[in-house]
Structure 1
Amino acid sequence: MGEQNHSPGKELQHWMRAEAPGKKIWHSQAYALGAISNFMSTFLTFPIYKVVFRQQIHAVAVSEALRQLWHEGPQYFYRGIYPPLLSKTLQGTLLFGTYDSLLFSLSPDGPHSLGHRWAAGLMSGVVEAVALSPFERVQNVLQDGRKQARFPSTFSILKEFNSYGLWGRMSLGYYRGFWPVLLRNSLGSALYFSFKDPIQDGLAEQGLPHWVPALVSGSVNGTITCLILYPLIVLVANMQSHIGWQSMPSLWASAQDVWDTRGRKVFLIYRGGSLVILRSSVTWGLTTAIHDFLQRRSHSRKELKD
């Protein structure tokens, strides 16, 4: 096909400008495609995430994390899936939709520079962190095996948070660990969107099928971003697993505790990193490929109608 010789990123910019030249665009399609792709990838990769979470909390090997889950029984294996399933679906909706809207607000006529992509990605990550941090907080409490007896359900956790009072609900409840979440999400989104199109464009010039550059681009971005930000992922998991007025160390104390319990060694901070990086690679590879595929089908249908 002749289309395979064109840059995917430049094709997208051309399509968007052709649909509404010179106008501020609200890309509803990007929201829908982001929701679909993230829902699918989250469901498929949840088992990997659960093993990784146990490693982050207990600093154990993969075999020990699997042994814990096996000992708890299959009825608890998918315990905690609903918050991430909902939050990741919303994440995809916000991430792709907000990014496209912000990008074309910053540069409605294109071309979109690295600075434009970085700024739009950074801001979309901020929106994502504000909207979804409470979901991640509940999810991390649910997945901590030490709290199954005290908090057997999502409702029991919400009841605990709502008993704190207004400020306590925010700082100790739903938005516990917010600042590292904000840093992780904003930087992660900026890195992903800044380098997704250049990698995809370079691979597309080799004449590969459209899904291959998208899959590889998403996988490479997911791997690199996760590798860079993994210490923040560990910090968030540990901060958000705490609950109760008497067990809420500060951000610095939490970071120091993680460093000390990992023997002050970087490689122990990255324990569980192999699986989480694998999950990130698979998740973002699938997400990017599905988003790109559905986006092209949508534009092909529009061209046929025209």
Structure 2
Amino acid sequence: MSAKGVSLGTEAAQQVLAGGSAGLVEICMMHPLDVVKTRFQIQRGKSDPSSYKSLGDCFKTIYRNERLFGFYKGILPPILAETPKRAVKFFTFEQYKKLLAPLALPPGLVFAAAGLGSGLTEAVVVNPFEVVKVSLQANRSVQRHSTFTQAQHIITSEGFGLRGLNKGLTSTLGRHGVFNMVYFGFYFNVKGFIPEIKDPTLEFFRKFAIGLASGTLASVVNIPFDVAKSRIQGPQPVPGEIKYRTCWKTMGTVYTEEGFLALYKGLVPKIMRLGPGGAVMLLVYEYAYAWLQKHWRL
């Protein structure tokens, strides 16, 4: 039984539904910005003839060449992944907190460590979906490939391993581990310091502001891992030759060839997505989970 007298199965089911709802809402609202972020991250500097000049140019070019559908390329893999991904994210965060409780660590450290653990666990679940999503988003042609066709092609040509459907796993572990460590650590620590407001509307905006800051800060800290992941999982500069293999080596290559700022490519669309998107996800989860705890008992 959980601490509230609710069975672990009921608690897990409530978190699956609440987390899945949070993920679905966030994906549908913010996915176009994820496409733009990925396009920036896979281009290789000004020497790339297909590079975008600015954020506005990227939006205009995608719409002109690929129409509205272009902004939703690769959306099915994250939608399919959201329920297990968010279930893992929130459920394991709570479980890691329980495991760390006997150690009598400072609360701030507990939140950060539990976030790190939940992120690493989440990364293992989500990485195959990320490989398919990035390969779909990198396609600039108007020719449409289904998610299942793309996944089948990756499995047939490269297999399930670290060169195929689990390509870029190390960078995904870094991306999710670091993001969740900052995201959960900042949100729950700051929320505890700022007094709760009795007015429901003002309380909603208090939580939204803290969630926005959490998503923004986490995005800034973890984006080098995100860039490495996109390079490893995206198309290689020379077809048939693998240039980007491992997380740290890819970061080093990007830094050496393109400079320090190249490790922060796609930061603006990432913040535009995961700043408000992170706030939306936390709020939908908290309110949905509270409603389920009140109305659903097994």
Deviation larger for 36-45 or 53-62:
53-62
- Is the counterpart of residue 39 in structure 1 residue 35 in structure 2? no
Instruction: Kindly provide the amino acid, as one letter, of the partner of residue 259 in structure 1.
Output: Y
* CA 26–260 in structure 1, closer or farther in 2 if over 3 Å, else same: same
2-side partners of 1:26 and 1:106: how far apart? Answer: 19
State the alpha-carbon separation in 1 of the partners of residues 142 and 231 from structure 2: 16
Please list, as runs of the form range in 1=range in 2, the aligned pairs for 1:74-113 lying within 5 A after superposition: 74-107=68-101, 113=107
How far is 1:36 from its partner? 0.6
Give 1:131-280 correspondences, 5 Å limit: 131-146=125-140, 152-164=145-157, 168-205=159-196, 207=198, 209=200, 210-242=203-235, 246-251=241-246, 252-260=248-256, 262=258, 264-266=259-261, 268-280=262-274
Letter in 2 for 1:152: H
State how far apart, in whole Å, the 2-side matches of 1:261 and 1:157 are.
Answer: 30
Q: Name the CA distance, whole Å, in 2 between partners of 1:118 and 1:274.
A: 25
Please, which moves more after superposition, 282-291 or 77-86?
Answer: 77-86
Task: Please list every run of 5 or more consecutive structure 1 residues that lacks an aligned counterpart in the other structure.
Answer: 1-15
The RMSD of aligned alpha carbons is 3.1
Range with greater deviation from structure 2 (278-287 or 191-200): 191-200
Partners of 1:33 and 1:111 lie apart in 2 by 28
Contact 1:26 1:101 in 2 (8 A): no
Q: Report the equivalent of 1:125.
A: 119
Task: Give the structure-2-normalised TM-score.
Answer: 0.81
Q: Cα deviations across residues 72-130 of structure 1 (Å, max 9, x unaligned)? A: 23343322110122223432121001211232244389998333323322221121111
Does the 8 A contact of 1:38 with 1:88 survive in 2?
yes
Give the counterpart of 1:56 among 9, 31, 41.
41
**Preserved contact between residue 14 and residue 293 of structure 2 (Cα < 8 Å):** no
Aligned 8 A contact 1:17 1:108 in 2: no
Alpha-carbon spacing, 1:237–1:249, altered in 2? closer, same or farther (3 Å): closer
Q: Size of the alignment, in residue pairs? A: 282
Contact 1:57 1:237 in 2 (8 A): yes
Distance in 2 separating the partners of 1:274 and 1:46: 14
> Any conservation in 1 of the 2:179–2:222 contact (CA below 8 Å)?
yes
Q: Evaluate the alpha carbon distance shift between residue 187 and residue 272 of structure 1 in structure 2; reply closer, same or farther with a 3 A threshold.
A: closer
Deviation of 1:45 after TM superposition, in Å, equals 0.7
- The Cα offsets for residues 18-76 of structure 1, whole Å up to 9 and x where unpaired, read as 4369x999543223211111110110111122122212222531123123312123343
SS at match of 2:241: helix
Kindly, what percent of the aligned residue pairs are identical? 22
Change (3 A) 1:285 1:39: same
Q: Tell whether the 8 Å contact from 2:231 to 2:244 is kept in structure 1 after alignment.
A: no
Distance in 2 separating the partners of 1:37 and 1:105: 25
Larger Rg: 1
What amino acid does structure 2 have at the position aligned with 1:19? G
Describe the shift of the 1:147–1:259 C-alpha distance in structure 2 as closer, same or farther (beyond 3 A): farther
Kindly state the Cα deviation for residue 248 of structure 1 after the two structures are TM-superposed: 5.0
Q: Give CA-to-partner distance per residue, 1:108-162, whole Å, 9 cap, x none.
A: 899983333233222211211111100001000000125776x833333323322
Distance 1:161 1:147 in 2: 18
